[in-house]
Amino acid sequence: MSRPAWKTELASCITGPEALDLSPRREQAMNRVIQRYPMRVPPQLARLMDASDPLCPIARQVLPHPDELRSGGQADPLDEENFFIAPGVIRRFDDRLLVLVCNTCPVLCRHCNRKRYWKSDGKPPALATPKDIAEALKKSAGRIKEVILSGGEPLLRSDADLNRLLMAARGHAGVELLRIHSRAPVSLPNRITPGLVRMLRRHRPLWFVTHFNHAKEIDKQASHALERLQTAGIPVLNQAVLLKGINDSLKALEDLGRALLTAGVKPHTLFQLDRAEGTLHFQVPLKKAVALVAKLRARRSGLLTPHLLADLPGRGGKVPITPSAIETFVENGAWIKGSDGKRVFYRC
Ligand code: SF4
């Protein structure tokens, strides 16, 4: 049997600056960063980026930058490590399980909040097996309504593995919904094969949540991958992260929203950056984020405007950041109303 095209693409990822024809100074600077945070750029994004343009919104997301070595932030900004209830299974919310099924990705995003797993001295997490999922669901005594497959990139697992993992979740009474959180439509769109889609279709209701941050990422191949999912009756939502210098302008957010809607995808959420080590240079001040989304909402279609959310560590929850949710801004953050109505300090 011939090798699937996506595996060939995966084998051609760029892992160092030498392939990019950059100045020796920039190459050296990138190599210093790579010693701590490796680099991987799949052919799809290499085709779309302009490595020589310091403002290219794709290059900024995927090429190592010296700012990553600045101190600050936490290894585990969401405190996930304290919420494993089985190998690879995180329960931070009462009704949802997040399941880590793969610890690698076709692209190593510079803003990733799980950089702790793939940095050079990082310890990749244990991955969940179908048995771990079943046990975690049993332990949760029927309270879990949604199971989310994540990673790393869950779609780097084979169709057969994914089928088994989804079956383990689906086989438990009370689980209503399955979700896959994947950046494959951005980084490896030919992974969305007819075979994969046929298998996913059998597990409906299943929602596919993807992660486009800029309109430039949505080319013909990406649109084709999204269309395949939708044609099979799998709804696709987008979860973006607000990133300084990449999508923190009205125009960039509007263009992203329009490109997503044209591809049939709802711009669902826009997250404030989690304060992960090696990512703080992407942080957009909360005040600016709130103003941007309010302007977008006021001027453009509601369909185009995502919910601005902050993910608070531990059980703090995903809090919608609206002007009324903010009590007061202070120098290094803001006091906001948490999901339970309590006042919480959000560092930003
Ligand atoms: S694809 Fe997701 S998990 Fe992988 S590096 Fe990017 S943000 Fe992190």
Boundaries of every domain in the chain: 5-347
**Closest residue to atom 8 of ligand 1, CA basis:** 112
Within its chain, how far is the Cα of 194 from the centroid? 23
Q: Rounded to whole angstroms, how far apart are CA atoms 59 and 46?
A: 8
Of 279, 323, 315, 281, the closest CA to residue 94 belongs to 315
- pLDDT attached to residue 119: 97
CB 228 within 8 A of CB 200: no
Q: Tokens for 200? A: 């996913």
Please name the CATH architecture into which domain 5-347 falls: Alpha-Beta Barrel (3.20)
Q: Rounded to whole angstroms, how far apart are CA atoms 258 and 256?
A: 5
Please indicate whether residue 62, judged by its CB atom, sits closer than 6 Å to ligand 1.
no
- Regions of the chain where pLDDT drops below 50: none
Q: Closest ligand 1 atom, CA of 150? A: 3
Distance 112 CA to ligand 1 centre (A): 5
- pLDDT attached to residue 153: 98
Torsion angle, alpha carbons of 206, 212, 216, 219, to 10: -20
Please indicate whether residue 112, judged by its CB atom, sits closer than 6 Å to ligand 1.
yes
Side chain identity, residue 254 = E
Q: Is the dihedral of CA 337, 297, 256, 245 positive or negative?
A: negative
Distance 9 CA to ligand 1 centre (A): 17
Percent of the chain with pLDDT over 70: 99
Please indicate whether residue 153, judged by its CB atom, sits closer than 6 Å to ligand 1.
yes
- pLDDT attached to residue 187: 98
Q: Rounded to whole angstroms, how far apart are CA atoms 174 and 160?
A: 24
Please indicate whether residue 114, judged by its CB atom, sits closer than 6 Å to ligand 1.
yes
Of 239, 250, 294, the closest CA to residue 111 belongs to 239
Coil, helix or strand for 296? helix
Distance 342 CA to ligand 1 centre (A): 31
CB 110 within 8 A of CB 279: yes
CB 157 within 8 A of CB 188: no
CB 312 within 8 A of CB 344: yes
Q: Rounded to whole angstroms, how far apart are CA atoms 18 and 337?
A: 48
Please indicate whether residue 152, judged by its CB atom, sits closer than 6 Å to ligand 1.
yes
